[in-house]
Amino acid sequence: MSINKKRLVVATGNAGKLREIKEILSEYEVLGASELGLVFDAEENGNSFCANATIKAEALRQLTSCAVLADDSGLCVDALMGAPGIFSARYAGENASDQDNVDKLLTMLDGVPLEERSARFVCAICLITEDGKKIYGEGTCEGRILLSPQGTGGFGYDPIFYSLDYQKSFGVLLPEQKNAISHRRRALEDLKKKMK
């Protein structure tokens, strides 16, 4: 006899992200908002990853009585006082491409030696349970910013992010290698611990 799982609606249409969440939060039936035809628009105007994840989760929660989950993530570079941070996706402007953002970051770090380019990917997750309780998870992935891109894999800043775990650029890692140590996976694992 099968046991009905509680449903968890995720504020994403990203298949890779959904797969990772399904794997880690296996006690839930995980569905993307778009799979249920839920269209929501949340203005991410918080001052932290956690605040933005909460804004997205609360906006989605208005549309369903199921548990909901949202995340926000980005790259924080120590030599730039934590920039691009929450502005990672639009660092070079509102409609900037990944390449535009990478180019701006490398320009901002021009002249900064490799050993002073410490950085981390950060992910914050907000889960709102069926009864309205908020649970948070956070994860980081430490590394440094390379002088120039290495590899063509991944997306965003991956080709210039050197992972301390693998001693390689995220741009040369296989997706499953990256996902095994990603900031999102670590945030989900942190969330799972707090759910118990």
- Residue 127 CB burial class (10 angstroms; 0-12, 13-18, ≥19): buried
DSSP-derived pairing of the beta strands 118-128 and 67-77? antiparallel
The set of long-range contacts for 92-101, using a CB threshold of 8 Å and a minimum separation of 24, is 98/155, 98/156, 98/157, 101/156, 101/157
User: Measured between alpha carbons, how far is 112 from 13 in angstroms, rounded to an integer?
Assistant: 37
Asked about 72 being catalytic, the answer comes back as yes
Of the candidates 41, 71, 72, 78, the residue annotated as catalytic is 72
User: Among residues 105, 69, 71, which one has the least CA distance to residue 88?
Assistant: 105
The residues annotated with a catalytic role in the active site are: 72
